[in-house]
Amino acid sequence: MYGPVEGRRHDCTVLSMSRIMNTIQGNTSLKHYCLYGDPAYGCQPCLACPFPNAAPGSLQATFNSSMSAVRESVEWSFHIVKSLWSHVSFDKKMKVRNCPVGMLWLVATLLTNCHTCLKPHGNQVSLYFSLLPPTLDEYLSE
């Protein structure tokens, strides 16, 4: 997980700051994988994006539709964190100079992942992808 980053930063800037593209390109065990991102990122060797102007009914349109549904799962993850730890979504209190916003979000995410590991079927995201989460011991030992 990368961050925290100020909310006013553009997604492309955050992607660049994270250096995740360099990590993926430099790791031979990840050579068969790529990230899927918004078209604003621009397609790169390890970053796929939607096909522009895909004709309705085409394979490209089907791909775009399928991947759009997958992108929604990222939003589900944010919702799960916010529903378990409501204080991280209380905008009036979550101000940079009032509290350690980044640390609170990182801890809430870690605890959400632990919570998911303890549930027999994981959460909405793991069910969507038909994947079981690791055990808590496996997750915390990595």
Residues forming a β-bridge with 35: 47
φ/ψ (deg, to 5) at 6 = -55, 140
CB atoms within 10 A of CB 5: 13
One-character DSSP codes across 1-51: ------TTS-HHHHHHHHTHHHHHHH-GGGTT--EE--GGG--BTTEE-PP
Q: What local confidence, expressed as pLDDT, does residue 96 receive?
A: 66
CA–CA separation, 33 vs 36, rounded Å? 10
- pLDDT tens for the chain, residues 1 to 142: 887 777 777 888 888 899 998 999 899 998 888 888 888 887 788 898 899 899 999 999 999 999 988 888 888 999 999 999 988 877 666 666 677 778 888 999 999 999 999 999 999 999 999 999 999 999 999 7
Q: What local confidence, expressed as pLDDT, does residue 92 receive?
A: 65
The pTM for the full model equals 0.77
CB 68 within 8 A of CB 54: no
Q: What local confidence, expressed as pLDDT, does residue 33 receive?
A: 87
